[in-house]
Amino acid sequence: MNHSFHSHIRIHHATTGGNIVRTIVSHTLPIAALTLALLTGCGGEGGESADPSATATSTDAQATETTASLTPAYGLTLTLPTNLTSDEEPRKGSNDKWRVDYYVQDESAPALIDVEYYTESSQTASGIASLDENAYAEDGITITPTATTVEGSPDAYTYTWEQNAAPPWDPTAPAIDLSCQAKLADGPEGYAYGVYACAPKDNQQSIDAMQAVLDSMTVSES
């Protein structure tokens, strides 16, 4: 069983040279178009209808010159850099999982933020942690999900890993060492979320930006 940067960098898990690399097929949008796409809602994949509960929006009142508060899924809020591109819309994959990827287009501090979520109580944060742990183990990578705190969530976990792969924001580039972290959380009304971020291991600015995104993660009924 192959996994690709996990269908998200959990990005769908697939194995390359023994390393998990999240395989990403995406249509990118400039930030202005991204904001419009978020405001107009989510669509399905492969004929699936849009998640009727998804209310992805940008919160202009909380925007700064370099970051903006976005809600990529119902109940989930992240503060993301504004110099990014994104999938056109969340896509529904296997096991009732929705996914959307964000790519920070900053040559000095590139990064990938992969957002996945489940609806209708089809998964929990602890369940996602177990699935991830098993999937990475199949590819020889050990992760150790540990309990953490996400504002508004009753149950949350985090873990880190490293891998050598083509950078998700430029799959044509040579492989580099990536430093990655995941944060998983239960949300309202049967939602559960996984936020996965990767940055060049030797780029502290990218790593700090990635950490800021994960630290900004909040859950609420909105």
User: According to the model, what pLDDT value does residue 51 have?
Assistant: 55
Please provide the size of the chain in residues: 222
Q: CA torsion sign, 33 to 36 to 37 to 38? A: positive
Number of Cβ within a 10 Å radius of residue 16: 17
Q: Running along the chain, 222 residues long, what does each successive block of 10 average in pLDDT?
A: 41 37 37 32 37 45 68 95 82 86 89 95 97 93 96 98 90 93 98 97 95 97 76
Q: Is residue 149 part of a domain?
A: yes
User: According to the model, what pLDDT value does residue 49 have?
Assistant: 40
| β-bridge pairing 176-186 and 146-147 | unpaired
CATH number, domain at 208?
3.40.1000.10
Considering its fold, how many domains does the chain have in total? 1
Question: Can you name the residues that pair with 170 across neighbouring β-strands?
Answer: none
Q: Is residue 32 part of a domain?
A: no
Structural domain that includes position 133: 66-219
Q: Where are the beta strands (DSSP E) in the chain?
A: 13-16, 19-22, 58-59, 67-73, 76-81, 84-86, 91-92, 97-104, 111-118, 146-147, 156-165, 176-186, 192-200, 218-219
User: According to the model, what pLDDT value does residue 89 have?
Assistant: 78
Q: Is residue 190 part of a domain?
A: yes
Q: Which two tokens stand for residue 43?
A: 């669509």
Q: Is residue 166 part of a domain?
A: yes
Q: CA torsion sign, 222 to 40 to 92 to 120? A: positive
The DSSP secondary structure of 8-43, one letter per residue, reads TTTBBEEEETTEEEE--------HHHHHHHHHT---
Q: Is residue 17 part of a domain?
A: no
